[in-house]
Chains A and B, each alone.
Chain A
């Protein structure tokens, strides 16, 4: 049986991207939650260290550890958020898969040839934006670790009084401060890309639902 619906093709199963979404949605969510929880624990340690520095018995090394932990917190936190949003994207892709398979079952039950919507450009662009966003978050995570190592290697006295710092310590402080300035922006750009992927997959869901309405009308006509 033929169809006159625009961009309708015979039913075919999952492609590689949809397979990945099927297998990775829940593991990605788990990894993201673990990363966020890790960030929270590191933040508690950072707060403890910085609080210890300002206590009467505080030593300069507490401040160094605290500042390194603050860098680590940001790195783990945004990596986790990126993974959670990527997991939401994959879950929405799975909804598209279920809508398509449900449509196949209904068409088969009616004795019609199962047709599906040809993957629209929004569906093609979804994995690209999601992967770009996750890669940006991973890059920001690695740079955040480097910043944490850099500030952690500074001698404690130099952190308290930068005027007395050696040239090497000043360079490390400068690197950590400069990266701490723009790394949050990079992390937000990564999240914005993954959110764009979510908007794209929502647009795909809308097209798939509309296709189902068109197909029902066609079969009844």
Chain B
């Protein structure tokens, strides 16, 4: 409401009626980015886990310690790879299925606001043009 009144100074009742549809505020803008950051963090977490898996794999070739140690390294390597790769994909899915649709919904709401602004403002502008 505050932004609209500053945008259309002296706009009158016509502009006041579209103020309610104006998507404003930091929450609606930062929402998709916050969801996106969650996705990036999940992917980075999976990457860190995979580095641990890589270190364990490097210890297996050649196995510098005993057989039990080599078996444990192999277990860490295979087990971490088994869950960390899908976790990385989950992070991407959060971006694809969360952040991007969220941002697109915000755009749709903003297009509705612009439609209202045009529906209210264009007749006034056309009338001004015909009078001058």
Contacts and interface: CB of A to CB of B under 8 A. Distances in A.
Contacts of B77: 177, 181
Contacts of A185: 43, 46-51, 84-85, 88
B91 A188 contact: yes
A185 B122 CA distance: 52
A2 to B, nearest CB: 10
- Which of under 10, 10 to 19, 20 to 34, or 35 or more describes the interface residues of B? 35 or more
B66 interface: no
B71 interface: no
Given A216-B117, A219-B121, A207 B7 contact: no
Contacts of B54: 178-179, 181-182
Closest CB pairs A-B (n = 6): A174-B61, A220-B121, A221-B11, A185-B47, A202-B103, A185-B50
Interface residue SS majority, chain A: helix
A142 B124 CA distance: 60
Contacts of B114: 209-210, 212-213, 216
17 contacts: A5-B7, A170-B61, A174-B62, A177-B61, A178-B55, A188-B88, A191-B43, A205-B107, A206-B103, A207-B29, A209-B110, A216-B121, A217-B18, A217-B117, A220-B15, A221-B10, A221-B121
B32 A203 contact: yes
Nearest to B109: A206
B22 to A, nearest CB: 7
A57 interface: no
A177 B60 contact: yes
Given A184-B50, A217-B18, A192 B43 contact: yes
A172 to B, nearest CB: 8
Given A185-B49, A199-B95, A210-B114, 10 more contacts: A181-B77, A185-B88, A196-B39, A202-B100, A209-B110, A214-B22, A215-B7, A219-B121, A220-B124, A221-B9
A217 B40 contact: no
Contacts of A205: 107
B57 A220 contact: no
Given A4-B6, A170-B61, A213 B110 contact: yes
Given A192-B91, A195-B95, A203-B29, A217 B121 contact: yes
Interface in A160-174: 162, 167, 170-171, 173-174
Nearest to A193: B40
Interface residue SS majority, chain B: helix
Contact of A200 (B12, B33, B51, B107): B33
Interface residues of A, number: 48
A72 to B, nearest CB: 19
B32 A199 contact: yes
B113 A181 contact: no
Contacts of A9: none
Nearest to B62: A170
A128 B22 CA distance: 29
A154 B44 CA distance: 32
Nearest to B24: A210
B117 A213 contact: yes
B62 A5 contact: no
Nearest to A186: B47
